[in-house]
Amino acid sequence: MTIIKSISLMGLEGIIIDVEVDVSNGFPAWEIVGLPDTTVKESKERIKTAIKNSCSNLLSKKYIINLSPANIKKEGSLLDLPIAIGILSEIGIIRKNRFIDYIIVGELSLNGNIRAVDGILAICLEVKKKKFKGIIIPKENEEEASLVCGLEIIAVSSINELINTLNKEIKKTKTRIDIINFKKENYEIDFSDINGQEDAKKGLEIAAAGRHNSLMVGTPGSGKTMMAKALPSILPRLTFEEILEVTKIYSIAGLLKKENKIVSTRPFRAPHHTITQMALIGGGKIPKMGEISLAHKGVLFLDELTEFKTGILELLREPIEEKKITISRANISLTFPCDFMLVAAMNPCPCGYLGSKTRKCTCTKKQIETYRAKLSGPFLDRIDIFVEVNSNTYNTSKIIENSSQISERIMKAQIIQADRYKKEDINFNSELNSKQLKRYCQINQKSKNILEKLLSNNVISIRSYFKIIKLARTIADLSNEEKISTEHILEAIHYKNIR
The string of DSSP letters for 283-326 reads ETTTTEE-HHHHTTTSEEEESSGGGS-HHHHHHTHHHHHHSEEE
Residue 388 lies in a domain: yes
| Residue length of the chain | 499
Closest CA to 212 of 473, 481, 484, 490: 473
Contact 1/63 with Cβ under 8 angstroms?
no
Of the candidates 394, 429, 444, which is a domain's last residue? Answer: 394
Closest CA to 81 of 164, 7, 14, 30: 7
Distance in angstroms (rounded) separating the CA atoms of residues 64 and 24: 9
pTM of the model: 0.88
Measured CA distances, 400 to 182, 192, 195, 232 (Å): 28, 6, 7, 18
Q: How many domains does the chain have?
A: 2
Of the candidates 339, 369, 394, which is a domain's last residue? Answer: 394
Residue 459 lies in a domain: no
Same domain, 197 and 91: no
Same domain, 245 and 387: yes
The distance from CA 91 to its chain's CA centroid, rounded to whole angstroms, is 44
pLDDT of res. 166: 83
Q: What is the pLDDT along the chain (499 residues), one digit of tens a residue?
A: 899 999 998 888 889 999 999 998 888 888 999 988 888 988 989 999 999 998 878 878 899 999 999 888 888 899 999 999 999 999 888 887 777 889 999 999 999 999 999 999 999 999 999 999 899 999 999 988 988 888 899 999 999 998 888 887 655 555 555 554 554 566 888 998 888 888 899 999 999 999 999 999 999 988 899 999 999 999 998 988 999 999 999 999 989 877 677 888 999 999 999 999 999 999 888 788 999 999 999 999 999 999 999 899 999 999 999 999 999 887 788 899 999 999 999 999 999 999 888 889 999 999 999 999 999 988 998 899 999 887 766 665 567 889 999 999 999 999 999 999 999 999 999 999 989 999 999 999 999 999 999 999 988 888 889 999 999 999 999 999 999 999 999 999 999 865 4
What phi and psi values does residue 74 have, to the nearest 5 degrees? Answer: -105, 125
Residue 241 lies in a domain: yes
pLDDT of res. 182: 53
The CATH number for 83's domain is 3.30.230.10
Same domain, 157 and 209: no
pLDDT of res. 499: 45
Distance in angstroms (rounded) separating the CA atoms of residues 363 and 349: 7
Same domain, 262 and 360: yes
For residue 485, give the DSSP letter. Answer: P
Residue 122 lies in a domain: yes
Contact 311/277 with Cβ under 8 angstroms?
yes
* CA atoms within 13 Å, Cβ hemisphere of 280: 23
CB-based contacts of 90: which residues, under 8 Å, 6+ apart? 1, 2, 21, 22, 23
Residue 346 lies in a domain: yes
Same domain, 21 and 131: yes
pLDDT of res. 348: 93
Residue 179 lies in a domain: no
> For residue 134, what are the β-bridge partners?
102, 152
pLDDT of res. 169: 61
Range of the structural domain that residue 73 is part of: 2-167
Distance in angstroms (rounded) separating the CA atoms of residues 477 and 473: 6
Same domain, 384 and 236: yes
Same domain, 324 and 217: yes
Residue 437 lies in a domain: no
Of the candidates 394, 413, 445, which is a domain's last residue? Answer: 394
